[in-house]
Structure 1
Amino acid sequence: MDGARTENPGEPINSSVEEENYRALVYDTALSTFLAVVVYVVVKVGLDRIRQWRARISVLIVGSGPVGLTAALVAVRSGKVLKLTVLDERYRTALLCRPQQIALDPRSVRFLLGLGVDFDNMEGCWHNDHFFTKIGVFQEYLLSILEQKKQKIDVKVHLGTKFSEDYLRRIPCGQWPRVIVVADGSCGDSCSVLGISSDYIVESCHAYGANATIERLDQRQVPTPEIKAHNLYFDLSAYGDVLKEPRSSSHTTAKPGFHLKIYGTFRNRYMALACTAADSKMLRFLRHTSNSSIMKNIFHQSFNAYKMDIEPRLSEVTLHRMQCSRKLFEVMLSQRRVNAAYIEGDNVAVTVEGEAARVLNFDTGCGVNLGMRGLEALGTFIYSTATAQDQNDVFDALAAKIQHSKQVAETFRQTGLPSTMFE
């Protein structure tokens, strides 16, 4: 009995020691696990950052127009391009001799400044924070910037080379570009080569318009500021008294009448005439008339009334130099139903830009700005694709690019014409 009593006091002591040892073991295990997790996270984050920093991909740009070459600058600026290739089936002479004038609005100017474009070294003129230059001049300047980038990046510009199935077959296996940017215009067939649907969504911009062009070979190709005139009324009573609508007509809206824009170089003059959609006798007549001389007379009088003072007037003798729409038409914006895609077998992400993605059937002289809007998300798209860890990351980048493209089209439908024509 006494021996049993002497052993009992030792049991709590042994149990307490074992419990302390167990707690110490649990603590050490938890601490070791925590430290291991911390080290793993730190190392993984560090390695991911190193991988993202070192990630470089090959990018192919199809089309060397203003949008295509700007897309090339965006790709270079992303810092994630190892090899950049620009293709265009047109030769350099055909590209740089394009006489059409483009107008870059303030938003596009800021965007291009961020890409390193120096407007002080480009032929053109400024007016109301807009920059006006010829397409050929703009393209030549962007090509010169890409030439300078060859010191850091493998840049190849292949002019006179058509993007086709035969071109793709010549690319060695495993060397396909990771990103293809299609910017070959509304008449290009690169999307069909890549198997992208040619279906378009066509939506109204709630306006009517007409265009005219004047070619005067005796004038110089000098970039000029655009001229705008608002709330214009035309007396069409000569075509029927019922068409004479007074200024106080009940059809007058918040922005009544027509809006006129004259733009382009002195040699190639362009005019755009537009009005908000309304149900009036005059608009119905101008939309359905078969008499083409009516619109020609309207443009003739409008040009002589609002042209620059140093320009020659249009007379009956020189009127044959003008070509114009036969009647008013509804202004429509067409957007490609599929503007981004993923080629799974070759692990290639494709995005469609510029007029290859969305095109307006009405020329306002500011069409290039619509293409620039789409490029604002291209840098992020290239970066996300280059640093993607798996297909899901690429799909997320494509989804974001598609959403941005839809937003660009919708924003233009709502505010594009008011900002370029009505204000």
Structure 2
Amino acid sequence: MEGLQAETHALSPGEEEEEQYRALALDTLWSTLAAVLVYVLVKVSLDGVRRWRARVSVLIVGSGPVGLTAALVAVRSGKVLKLTVLDERYRSALLCRPQQIALDPRSVRFLLGLGVDFDNMEGCWHNEHFFTRIGVFQEYLLSILEQRKHNVDVKVQLGTKFCEEFVRRLPAADWPRVIVVADGSCGDSCSVLGLSSDYTVESCQAYGANATIERLDQRQVPTPEIRAHSLYFDLSAYGVDALREHRNPTTKPGFHLKIYGTFRNRYMALVCPSSDTKMVRFLRHTANASIMKNIFHQSFNAYKTDIEPRLSDVTLHQLQCSRRLFEVQLSHRRVSAAYIDQDHVAVIVEGEAARVLNFDTGCGINLGMRGLESLGTFIYHIATAVDQSDVMEALSAKMAHSRLVVQDFKLSGLAKSVYE
């Protein structure tokens, strides 16, 4: 049997050179891919470490409910190295404030996420709303901030006003990276920082009036609110037959009434959607200031709680109210965020310093809380920003959220706080 003979095929010089070129190209490709992979892994790791270690200093001007909540958001963000809270009022003036605030379910959920324990706060629950006094709420938040001092350098400077002199005396090395202005509708911190004072005023498509009753013989304890709907008033004594209009099936629903506050400081809000009914026209333009007072007087006696005294003709002087119906409007700053180039400081405006409703619904704090829902993300982006472009993107996103807060309130704010 003939053996098998293996044959080898000799490569030509050209083919051998081409094979070597392919091998070299393949080695170069793998080397390049390996180098790129190592570069990406190192960059991602270093970027992750940089983001993880990134910290900023934050200054909050104002220690009201919104300002202190903003401080809690900043501490919980994990991106704050030093936190300073300023307020020109002293601690005693803050904590003795008797006004009641109502936190709606959305604000309650937001605060629960920040670690607020409502079981350890004086107040009461009703329909998933939590009612407490402003001073109690502020004292609780201050106590939480005190407990956080081991994680963040927290400094609360009460009795210190943020003014031009304060800015001049502040060393360049101590300038914060983020300033949150929450000093209320009468504060002047924005002007000190050079922010525009221009406001946009938008209608909420409603008319309203407010009233207040102060009774020093009553208790200063939080109480649930009372709501009444589809109210009409007999104005025949003033020459307006509004009840006949009420019986017309095409007429829009009537007024919504809310009674809120403590028994000592009672407040009432009367509001109706925009309409051109006889009653609305009359109450908007009447020059008789006693008409609205009589309406609030009768409404309070009809819907008050059973355990509180009625308003009599003798005690009627304790009631102060709007002279007539006015248009419910929401004012908000055109510029609610800015960047100070020379100091590399990002400034944002929150609470009533940013947006103010000219009609008191008893749920005003919640409008300020809405703006804080994006504060934690904003602080994170500022802390981890690589360049000024990243800072501007963060400021733009924060302003977009502020505009969204306004639009949401215009669409559903009164419905959720008064109508429903």
* TM-score when normalising by structure 2: 0.96
Shift in Å, 1:243: 4.6
- Please say if residues 331 and 362 of structure 1, whose CA atoms lie closer than 8 Å, have aligned partners that are also in contact: yes
Which residue of the other structure, out of 357, 360, 372, is the alignment partner of 1:360?
Answer: 357
Q: Which residue of 1 aligns with 2:224?
A: 225
Shift in Å, 1:220: 1.1
CA distance in 1, matches of 2:244, 2:327: 21
CA distance in 1, matches of 2:243, 2:300: 22
Shift in Å, 1:410: 0.4
Q: Which residue of 1 aligns with 2:192?
A: 193
Kindly provide the amino acid, as one letter, of the partner of residue 215 in structure 1. Answer: E
Q: For residues 311-331 of structure 1, give each alpha carbon's deviation from its aligned partner in whole angstroms, at most 9, with x where no partner exists.
A: 011011111111000000000
Q: Which residue of 1 aligns with 2:139?
A: 140
Shift in Å, 1:15: 2.3
- Please say if residues 237 and 243 of structure 1, whose CA atoms lie closer than 8 Å, have aligned partners that are also in contact: yes
Q: Which residue of 2 aligns with 1:22?
A: 21
CA distance in 1, matches of 2:240, 2:376: 58
CA distance in 1, matches of 2:173, 2:151: 23
**Structure 1 pair 180–241 and aligned structure 2 pair: CA distance change class (3 A):** closer
CA distance in 1, matches of 2:291, 2:134: 32
Q: Which residue of 2 aligns with 1:175?
A: 174
Q: Which residue of 2 aligns with 1:266?
A: 263
**Structure 1 pair 58–241 and aligned structure 2 pair: CA distance change class (3 A):** closer
Q: Is 1:278 the equivalent of 2:275? A: yes
Q: What percent identity do the matched residue pairs reach? A: 76
C-alpha RMSD over aligned residues: 1.3
CA distance in 1, matches of 2:203, 2:261: 26
Q: Which residue of 2 aligns with 1:98?
A: 97
- Provide the secondary structure at the position in 1 that maps to 2:150: coil
Shift in Å, 1:17: 2.4
Kindly provide the amino acid, as one letter, of the partner of residue 309 in structure 1. Answer: D
- Please say if residues 86 and 156 of structure 2, whose CA atoms lie closer than 8 Å, have aligned partners that are also in contact: yes
* TM-score when normalising by structure 1: 0.96
Aligned residues: 412
Kindly provide the amino acid, as one letter, of the partner of residue 104 in structure 2. Answer: D
Q: Which residue of 1 aligns with 2:407?
A: 410
Shift in Å, 1:175: 2.8
Shift in Å, 1:63: 0.5
Kindly provide the amino acid, as one letter, of the partner of residue 322 in structure 2. Answer: S
Kindly provide the amino acid, as one letter, of the partner of residue 200 in structure 1. Answer: Y
- Please say if residues 208 and 275 of structure 1, whose CA atoms lie closer than 8 Å, have aligned partners that are also in contact: yes
Deviates more, 1:238-247 or 1:286-295: 238-247
Q: For residues 31-61 of structure 1, give each alpha carbon's deviation from its aligned partner in whole angstroms, at most 9, with x where no partner exists.
A: 1111110000000001000000000000000
Kindly provide the amino acid, as one letter, of the partner of residue 64 in structure 1. Answer: S
CA distance in 1, matches of 2:248, 2:288: 25
Kindly provide the amino acid, as one letter, of the partner of residue 216 in structure 1. Answer: R
Shift in Å, 1:343: 0.7
- Provide the secondary structure at the position in 1 that maps to 2:12: helix
CA distance in 2, matches of 1:408, 1:352: 13
CA distance in 2, matches of 1:167, 1:49: 37
- Provide the secondary structure at the position in 1 that maps to 2:380: helix
Q: Which residue of 2 aligns with 1:158?
A: 157
- Please say if residues 74 and 379 of structure 1, whose CA atoms lie closer than 8 Å, have aligned partners that are also in contact: yes
Shift in Å, 1:413: 0.4
CA distance in 1, matches of 2:354, 2:172: 29
- Provide the secondary structure at the position in 1 that maps to 2:174: coil
Structure 2 unaligned regions, length at least 5: 1-8
Shift in Å, 1:244: 4.7
Shift in Å, 1:251: 5.5
Kindly provide the amino acid, as one letter, of the partner of residue 182 in structure 1. Answer: V
- Please say if residues 260 and 273 of structure 1, whose CA atoms lie closer than 8 Å, have aligned partners that are also in contact: yes
- Please say if residues 251 and 280 of structure 1, whose CA atoms lie closer than 8 Å, have aligned partners that are also in contact: no
